C-alpha cells in the first residue's frame, strides 16, 4: 500500500509571520496557490515544495476567516523529515517557535522533536 496521506493544511492567523517561520526553519521556499474557492471568504494558501513522482505528501499554510490554528497538541501533528531534528528545532526557537518536547529517540525509527510554531500549531521534526 502506498502512503495514504496526499495533502495537509496548517492553519495560521498571521501569514507573513508563519511563512517566514517555515521558510527559515525548514530552509525552503513556499509558493503561492490560487484561492480554490469563488466565495466572499477568500483563502490565502502557500504550498510546501512537492514532487508528484516522489513519496510523501505535500500541503500548505492556510489562512481562512473562522478557522484558527489548533493549540498545544489538539488535533493532528504534521512531522517534517529533516537531516537533524535537533538542529531544526534550534532554528524554530530562534524564529519565534518553542520546544514542546525535547529531542527524543524513537528506537530504530530515529528521533523526533515536537515544536509549537509561531501560530500555536504543534508540529514535529523527524530525523534518522
Q: Which domain range does residue 64 map to?
A: 7-127
Residue 2 lies in a domain: no
At 70, is the pLDDT very low, low, confident or very high (cuts 50, 70, 90)?
low
At 27, is the pLDDT very low, low, confident or very high (cuts 50, 70, 90)?
very high
pTM value? 0.80
Q: What is the pLDDT of residue 71?
A: 61
d(CA 117, CA 100): 10
At 83, is the pLDDT very low, low, confident or very high (cuts 50, 70, 90)?
very high
At 73, is the pLDDT very low, low, confident or very high (cuts 50, 70, 90)?
very low
Average pLDDT estimate for 96-120:
92
**Which CATH number does the domain housing residue 93 bear?**
3.10.180.10
Report phi then psi at 6, rounded to 5: -115, -15
Residue 122 lies in a domain: yes
Amino acid at each position: 500500500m502506498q502512503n495514504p496521506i496526499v495533502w495537509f493544511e496548517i492553519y495560521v492567523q498571521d501569514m507573513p509571520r508563519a511563512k517566514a517561520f517555515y521558510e527559515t526553519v525548514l530552509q525552503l521556499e513556499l509558493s503561492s496557490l490560487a484561492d480554490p474557492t469563488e466565495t466572499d471568504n477568500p483563502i490565502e494558501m502557500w504550498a510546501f515544495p512537492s514532487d508528484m513522482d516522489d513519496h510523501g505528501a505535500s500541503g500548505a499554510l492556510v489562512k481562512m476567516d473562522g478557522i484558527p490554528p489548533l493549540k498545544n497538541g489538539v488535533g493532528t501533528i504534521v512531522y517534517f523529515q529533516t537531516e537533524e531534528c535537533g538542529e531544526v528545532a534550534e532554528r524554530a526557537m530562534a524564529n519565534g517557535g518553542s520546544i514542546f518536547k525535547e529531542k527524543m529517540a524513537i528506537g530504530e525509527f530515529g528521533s523526533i522533536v515536537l515544536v509549537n510554531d509561531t501560530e500555536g500549531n504543534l508540529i514535529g521534526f523527524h530525523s534518522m
